[in-house]
Structure 1
Amino acid sequence: MKRSISLIGLCLSTGSAFAASQVLLETPVTYAPDASVVQQVKDECHLEDMLARHVGDTLRKINRTGDGTLASQADAGDAKVLRLQITHVLGVGGGAWSGPKAMTVSADLIEDGKVARHTKINRWSVGGMWGAFKGTCSILDRTTVAISKDLGRWVCDPSYEIKEEAPPKEASSPTAEAVPTKAE
């Protein structure tokens, strides 16, 4: 919560120039053509909807208006557009018992129809407190929350560089090689 407040404060402090140019998330969020993701996780978790909800909420708070999203092919007007593609998902069913989960997203910030900035973001989770009792989808939802916070800061601050997140220690555990089971 404290991080969200400071993120909003950072964006609001950029002055009236920012207010004139909102950032909207292009929906639907898509998968890259060569995205690596277990089909069952893709079908059951609806990761693109999770990202759209969390990133859209973050942009709505930053913009202080609307829902933070824009339908694909719609006219953005003076707004900048954030286009996301899921490029990789590490995660099989079995929740925390099958190891940590990760998501990689490619992001383009589009101004006047041209890509002004590009970044790639990868976030990991083992489920947090009570992670052993969470399903794969809820653990991956935690990664989308982290991605939305980082992207919120990235769109507000052109000097902010998203750092690659190292896998947690649990990523090398034998349970990370578990056989896929039901995703939720």
Structure 2
Amino acid sequence: MKKLILIGLLSYGAAAFADGGNTLLEVPVTYHPDAGVVAKVKEECQIESMLSHRVGPVLAKMNKAGDGTIPSGSDTAGANLLRLQITHVLGVGGGAWSGPKAITVNADLLDASGKVIRHTKINRWSMGGMFGGFKGTCSILDRSAAAIGKDLSRWVRDPSYQIVEEAAPKEAEAAPTTEATPEKVQ
């Protein structure tokens, strides 16, 4: 009986290891050349860093090692690569008082040879949650980045998982989309 259990554990471990192994987030996360984002929000919130700090740890937890990131152009040592590109950020200064905030990214999962295995687009919205009226734009956008991290965790693990684009909150219809107000964004 012990031999049977040992054989089962070894074969399970071998299958998990042969499955392609780790996935690492390529850093820095970049902006698409035509990305729509208010300059002040881009500068103050540093969405690319926010996504790195939300997605990297999720991948590290899946990998059970490291920090889940790898610098662009580095040898992946056989790991898959997750490449994110920010295509749009909805948000102006004023926190929840200036409407909902959203981050849209394109995600590519590449194998160790650099071939794209899968591609998806993720758009996550937030009004700031409970006490949203007391939060700044950057902290509300960080909620969207956290949701993107959770989505990507499942998407990377499960090839059959389809990320469903969230509909914009009703408040987004009236949200301003012009330049940021002169006030501080955070």
TM-score, normalised to structure 1's length? 0.88
In structure 1, list runs of 5 or more residues that go unmatched.
Answer: 1-11
* Corresponding residue for residue 130 of structure 2: 129
TM-superposed CA distance for 1:18, in Å, is 6.1
Q: 1:123–1:165: 8 Å Cα contact kept in structure 2?
A: yes
Q: 1:19–1:63: 8 Å Cα contact kept in structure 2?
A: no
Q: 1:81–1:109: 8 Å Cα contact kept in structure 2?
A: yes
Q: Report SS of the residue matched to 2:128.
A: coil
Alignment of 1:24-173 (within 5 A): 24-111=24-111, 112-173=113-174
* Corresponding residue for residue 177 of structure 1: 176
TM-superposed CA distance for 1:157, in Å, is 0.2
* Corresponding residue for residue 6 of structure 2: none
Offset from partner CA, 1:116-138 (integer Å, 9 cap, x none): 10000000000000000000000
Quote the Cα distance in structure 2 between the aligned partners of 1:101 and 1:144. Answer: 11
TM-superposed CA distance for 1:69, in Å, is 0.4
The one-letter code of the counterpart of 2:70 is L
Offset from partner CA, 1:138-158 (integer Å, 9 cap, x none): 000000000000000000000
Q: 2:41–2:91: 8 Å Cα contact kept in structure 1?
A: yes
Alignment of 1:2-41 (within 5 A): 16-17=16-17, 21-41=21-41
In structure 2, list runs of 5 or more residues that go unmatched.
Answer: 1-11
* Corresponding residue for residue 4 of structure 1: none
Offset from partner CA, 1:69-90 (integer Å, 9 cap, x none): 0010000011000000000001
Quote the Cα distance in structure 2 between the aligned partners of 1:90 and 1:67. Answer: 28
RMSD: 1.9
The one-letter code of the counterpart of 2:124 is R
The one-letter code of the counterpart of 1:183 is V
TM-superposed CA distance for 1:19, in Å, is 6.4
TM-superposed CA distance for 1:170, in Å, is 1.5
TM-superposed CA distance for 1:17, in Å, is 3.8
TM-score, normalised to structure 2's length? 0.87
TM-superposed CA distance for 1:21, in Å, is 1.5
TM-superposed CA distance for 1:168, in Å, is 1.0
Q: Report SS of the residue matched to 1:160.
A: coil
The one-letter code of the counterpart of 2:122 is I
Quote the Cα distance in structure 1 between the aligned partners of 2:168 and 2:185. Answer: 21
The one-letter code of the counterpart of 1:118 is H
Identity %: 62
Offset from partner CA, 1:7-66 (integer Å, 9 cap, x none): xxxxx99x5146651000000000011100000000000100010011001000100000
The one-letter code of the counterpart of 1:124 is W
The one-letter code of the counterpart of 2:143 is R
Q: How many residues align?
A: 171
The one-letter code of the counterpart of 1:74 is S
Quote the Cα distance in structure 2 between the aligned partners of 1:91 and 1:109. Answer: 27
> Which of structure 1's runs of 4+ aligned residues deviate more than 3 A?
17-20
